[in-house]
Structure 1
Amino acid sequence: MKPTTRGTLAAVLTCVAAAAASATAVTPAAAVGTVPVPVPLDGVEKSLDVELPRIGGEIPLPTPGAPEGPRYAEGRLIPERAVPQLPVSGGLPGAGVRAPVPETLGNGFNHVGLDAPASDLRTLGPGVALDAPLTAPNPDNFGLPDLKPPQAGVLTPVLQTAPGADLGLGQGL
């Protein structure tokens, strides 16, 4: 094997290995589709010499999906979904708050915490279903279509989610 071929092959294998390693090293925020947003209160804590709550959040990243194409049905001149519904997946924003609560029986801090993680949200936009005021060609009518009442309808949007939250008390902050 020539040295140039060996060098090219080594470069290709190095690039493939780097791409495979970067594909497997996914951070949890990227896997869920959210971006963590911390609220920095350290400067206020140090300047006022007070224990402040720890606050953070998560902002979801919406991702559009592929719309379902038109479906042709027998006896209709226009497909069932003339304007398709567009699916969008994302999430509801999450929040995490831990606030100090003075301990009554000692000299430390307890905390009260609220954890509302980002939850999945699936939506499906509205769509339109139409049908022409003509039927398919009728052989009894010399191949001409018959008249029928026109049909128009709006496909309702869909929203699916299951949010949750956890409220609790604990030791330390």
Structure 2
Amino acid sequence: MKSTTRGTLAALLTCVAAAAGAAATPAAAAGTVPVPVPLEGVEQSLQMELPEIDAEVPLLAPGAPDGPRYVEGRLIPDRAVPQLPLDAALPGLDLRAPLPEVLGDDFNHLGVDAPAAGLDTLAPGLTVDLPLTAPDPGNFGLPAPKLPQAGVLAPALHGVPAAELGLGQGL
């Protein structure tokens, strides 16, 4: 293969890879996938104005768990079952419904805009401790008994959803 052919092929593959990466970036960056709801066929068959609906479905992205923490004086590490973070989004909705005017043949619209909002979560975790202490040099290296300990790390949910409701003229 000639060097000009190889160069052209390499440039073509680079352009295709860049275009594919650019096409995949908006959905991955937003954390949602847009889902339009087609109602045009129903409008034509019923011969009436129907709402326009666009939805957004969230994508889950698991994060790296916060691993076990070693604590002095314990035989097993703290957070035996670590909490798993999940980054996602609340579903979004964009709705425009026609409202007929009382006097006349014109239409107004009712709009609801609830964009996808970021949502950070932490799954519940577990922490346990054995009913023995660490080896004690004063007790010939034997562990001493103690009360067992167990705890559940509470799940967490952080998000700021927002929505906007409005009326307007025209469709």
TM-score bin (small chain): 0.7 to 0.9
Q: Which has the higher strand share?
A: 1
- Counterpart in 2 of 1:89? 87
Query: Partner of 1:95: helix, strand, or coil?
Result: strand
1:95-139 CA-to-partner distances (Å, cap 9, x unmatched) read 121111123465421111011111111211111101111112212
- Counterpart in 2 of 1:74? 72
Q: Are residues 1:151 and 2:131 paired?
A: no
Cα distance change, pair 135–8 in 1 and its aligned pair in 2 (3 A): farther
User: What's the TM-score once normalised by structure 1's chain length?
Assistant: 0.86
- Counterpart in 1 of 2:136? 138
How far 1:25 sits from its partner (Å)?
Answer: 4.3
How far 1:170 sits from its partner (Å)?
Answer: 1.0
- Counterpart in 2 of 1:38? 36
User: What's the TM-score once normalised by structure 2's chain length?
Assistant: 0.87
Cα distance change, pair 72–16 in 1 and its aligned pair in 2 (3 A): farther
Query: Partner of 1:134: helix, strand, or coil?
Result: coil
- Counterpart in 1 of 2:58? 60
Mapped partners of 1:47, 1:9: distance in 2: 55
1:63-113 CA-to-partner distances (Å, cap 9, x unmatched) read 111211111111111110111111111121111211111234654211110
Output aligned runs, 1:93-104, within 5 Å. 93-104=91-102
The two structures, once aligned, show a CA RMSD in angstroms of 2.2
Identity %: 61
Count residues in correspondence. Answer: 171
- Find runs of 4+ consecutive structure 1 residues off by over 6 angstroms: none
Unaligned stretches of 5+ residues in structure 2? none
- Counterpart in 2 of 1:108? 106
Unaligned stretches of 5+ residues in structure 1? none
Mapped partners of 1:143, 1:155: distance in 2: 32
